[in-house]
Structure 1
């Protein structure tokens, strides 16, 4: 399942107009065998991980606890290596 993140208006860069929340999408790709999952740090920071079948996961994006409002997708299973 892909990961969808809704960012707060305050998370936008100063050059972007703040017209409300910004949605970020990380789409799975059946062609490449790549999926996206997310995990949460105890601080509230959230990471979006690019998950490969045969290689270590890669951090695709990281959002501070005040930057994201909502996330949907697959939560990284505990015990998975990255």
Structure 2
């Protein structure tokens, strides 16, 4: 079995969105937080994905920033809605 990477995550987005996002974004260049926020923006605005509920606590403590908190609050308020 190959190692997980952005093209081959080990979990599904629906089952564990936080882990999927971390695996997908951690192999990209730049800040992990920036990569995650950009990925979430693209999912909701470009691809119109209905977001499952996510919790900031399921992300590493280094990502508990005001921007991430705001994003998680937005998804909690607008659960199951595409942007």
> Which TM-score tier does this pair reach, normalised by the shorter chain?
under 0.3
Structure with higher helix content: 2
TM-score (norm 2): 0.28
- Which structure's relative contact order is higher, taking Cα pairs within 8 Å and 6+ residues apart? 1
TM-score (norm 1): 0.28
Structure with higher strand content: 1
